[in-house]
Amino acid sequence: MPSPTHSFAEPRIAFAEVRGLRLEYLEWGEGKEVLICLHGTSMHAWAWSHLASALLDRYRVIALNLRGHGESDRPAEGYAIRDYRDDVIAFAKALGIEHYVLAGSSLGTQVAIAVAAAAPQQVRGLLLSDPSCTITQASIDRYVPLHKSRPRRFATFEEARAYARALPQRSGLSEMMHAVTERGDFHQLADGQWEWRYDLSAILQTFDGLRVDQWDEVRATRCPVLILRGERSHVLSPENAQRLKDTFPFAELIEVRNSSHTIWGDQPELLAQLARIFLAFAPRP
């Protein structure tokens, strides 16, 4: 893969043994306060590079590749929200992290909500980037065929990169955000071809389990919550964003202008600014 041309800080890449799986994660900074970042469906930990680079002066930022994504293990089954939830709780325990804030995008927000409800003593705050917990079946039915028809392999990295950059959901990414995202998109096979790093079966199973009722978990969340909604989001409606804000016991809602569902890519500078403010006021243990 060509060398990156961006100026983001390089992460430490490591693996953790979690519930019988080997999960890959990226880590920046060495602060006592920990932010664990959870990506969306078919995405990866590298998507959090900008946020981590902006926060590493004070925080220890960890981006986990969920099962079936990146170089994490790909079990044949186990892609319900509760499976991801249990992985994250066990992951933090394996790393000896007692208290942490969770940042999530799309699928990652649903996992974060589930973790906060199940481990209230550990989770100090939730930063939810365009939550998908109210996603409609119609939206899922649009996503699934796109993933099934997406080419899995490419003859060269240049072909893979061109395809990734042409995806509609990445139309708002800058050159720098494209460059860092591509580091996690593909890996090279023994025959020289390039393949997406996520497992297609895992993604399809994840979509099957996205539409679970999480309202009881929302009500049970006791930590502060910051909800970000992309102005052009096709996943989170203004009405559902307001309902989430009203149902969480302690929540704030901000609409992010000039952004789609992909806030981490469309508005990375604003995301970093909002995250720093939110983290500064998150309760300490």
Name the average pLDDT for the chain: 95
Average pLDDT over residues 32-45: 97
Name the percent of the chain lying above pLDDT 90. Answer: 95
Provide the residue ranges of all domains of the chain, joining segments of one domain with +: 12-281
pLDDT of residue 6: 52
Q: What are phi and psi of 238, to 5 degrees?
A: -55, -40
pLDDT of residue 282: 83
At residue 283 the predicted structure's pLDDT band, cuts being 50, 70 and 90, is confident
At residue 35 the predicted structure's pLDDT band, cuts being 50, 70 and 90, is very high
Superfamily of domain 12-281: Alpha/Beta hydrolase fold, catalytic domain (3.40.50.1820)
pLDDT of residue 133: 97
pLDDT(149) > 80:
yes
Distance CA 30, CA 27 (A): 9
Buried b (16+ CB within 10 A) or exposed e, 191-209: eebbebbbbeebbebbbee
DSSP state for residue 9 in the 8-state scheme: P
CA end-to-end distance (rounded Å), the chain: 42
Handedness of CA 81, 245, 132, 14 (dihedral sign): negative
From the centroid of its chain, how far is CA 260?
Answer: 15
pLDDT(5) > 70:
no
pLDDT(3) > 80:
no
Name the percent of the chain lying above pLDDT 70. Answer: 97
